[in-house]
Amino acid sequence: MFSKAIRWFGASPPRILLLGFSFIIFVGALLLELPIASTNGESTPFIDALFTSTSATCVTGLTVFDTGSYYSVFGHWVILLLVQTGGIGFMTMATLFALILRRRISLRERLILQESLNQGSIEGLVRLVRKVIFYALAIETVGALLYTVRFMIDMPFGRAVYQGVFHSISIFNNAGFDLSGDAASFAKYSTDLYLNIVSMGLIIFGGFGFIVLADLFEIKSKKKLSLHTKVVLSVSAALILVGAIVIFIFEFTNTRSIGDSGFGHKLLVSFFQSVTSRSGGVSTVDIAELRQATQFFLIILMFIGASPGSTGGGIKTTTFAVLVGAVLAMIRGKEDVVLFRLRLAQERVYKAVTVTLFCIGLVMLGTMILATTENAAFLKILFEVTSAFGTVGLSMGLTENLTSAGKLTIIFMMFVGRLGPLTLTYALGPKAGRPLYRHAEGKIIIG
């Protein structure tokens, strides 16, 4: 029976992912429900504990309570552990999936990964996990040190270390949990260049994904970066830049956000919000006070999200690159989608388009449900659902006021937002064999 169960798991790796995450979330919810997890010493309603646990494990950062004041130190450590397990667990699994579907990755990426993993061997798997953990911990340690140095100016050493570690783990994992107690989590630091740079750095590195990090740090000659790494780096840079410019222009005269700030401050806030929208989840401005056009633009950034196999969510930068490439090919009347002078297989383009459409469908479904269960402006609902789907954690303020049905919907959106795109891509991967029986071909007219 046991071997049967193992075979059942082995036959479909996404099952391990889905069941593993469900199990972690459930255990997390049980722990967060305990009276010792909250500062008021009372047990938390299960739905709220489940919400926090899902939000932490799926590194989303949407919160029904203020993390800093509601949860005790025990509660904070549970959240941090869930964030770390969820973040690193996902990075490992995503990298593994890419390896299993070997056809998807280039020789170069295989070279990077093969030291870590001899296909099929348990030792290789252990080595891969160890390597992912090493990268994560190394960057988090640097982050914690940099944060602590800054926090020491404001608070006693002990608290500075505590806050440094918490924020470094939370922000590298693109989890968006913070201990600030403000609606706009990092609003009080909005002019602090040092903290802005450290935080943006952690979000960006966390959002690159393991393969890109390994490619960046392990290869001597930068000229020979893999196509995947080149696409991730250039699309990330372009999105951050374009995002910042658009936010800057849209908010320039909005006195409720940065309209009254100086030029440099405006620029810094714009860049930070551009970076954080693509999964980070902490913000230096109150999102609810932005203009409608900016909020809708952030929804698009949140939907695109970070890169594959990273701590961030969304449809991913590479998927977005393929979509842009497909549009450009269409405009030029070309059949092939070309990125960096390399042609993409038609099936990969199809996959990108399908995953995107499926995710749009999910966001629409969630929005539809919340539009019936919640009494709030439509844009606020759309923002909340997209934030949950993209595991971003920004909110226009709806989270705390959600009904129970709304909470369940957002829990569902966080879960499928985190695991859906990867699972779906895997499911769309090359099949082992052709079906024995195929129907005859029919024709209909599209468009």
Residue 281, contacted partner among its own copies, K ion, none, CB below 5-8 A by kind: K ion
252 near its own copies, rule: CB under 8 A: no
Query: In which residue are the tokens 């552990």 written?
Result: 81
393 near K ion, rule: CB under 5 A: yes
Number of residues that bind K ion (CB under 5 A): 5
Residue 174, contacted partner among its own copies, K ion, none, CB below 5-8 A by kind: K ion
310 near K ion, rule: CB under 5 A: no
Give, as ranges, the residues between 262 and 281 that touch K ion (CB under 5 A): 281
Binding mask 388-427 for its own copies (x = CB under 8 A): ---------------------------------xx-xxxx
Containing 357, the helix (H) or strand (E) segment is helix 346-373
> 160 or 177, CB closer to K ion?
177
Are the CB atoms for 209 and 310 separated by under 8 Å? Answer: yes
- Contacting residue, 128, 146, 231, 306, with its own copies by CB under 8 A: 231
For residue 309, give the nearest of 9, 80, 97 by alpha carbon.
97
DSSP-assigned letters across all residues of 363-414: HHHHHHHHHHH--S-HHHHHHHHHHHHTT----SS-GGG--HHHHHHHHHHH
Are the CB atoms for 415 and 54 separated by under 8 Å? Answer: yes
Token pair of 18 as six digits: 């889905």
- Contacting residue, 20, 28, 61, 314, with K ion by CB under 5 A: 61
d(CA 168, CA 282): 12
> 149 or 342, CB closer to its own copies?
342
- Contacting residue, 360, 397, 408, 412, with its own copies by CB under 8 A: 360
Residue 419, contacted partner among its own copies, K ion, none, CB below 5-8 A by kind: none
344 near its own copies, rule: CB under 8 A: yes
250 near its own copies, rule: CB under 8 A: yes
Amino acid (1-letter code) at residue 5: A
Give, as ranges, the residues between 79 and 108 that touch its own copies (CB under 8 A): 98, 103-106
- CB 130 to its own copies: min, Å: 22
- Contacting residue, 319, 386, 391, 399, with its own copies by CB under 8 A: 319
> Distance of CA 176 to CAs 200, 219, 257, 283, 419, Å?
12, 31, 20, 9, 18
297 near its own copies, rule: CB under 8 A: yes
DSSP category for residue 252: T
- CB 346 to K ion: min, Å: 33
Are the CB atoms for 316 and 308 separated by under 8 Å? Answer: yes
- Contacting residue, 193, 241, 328, 330, with its own copies by CB under 8 A: 330
> Distance of CA 15 to CAs 7, 19, 226, Å?
11, 6, 30
Per CB under 5 A, residues contacting K ion are 61, 174, 176, 281, 393
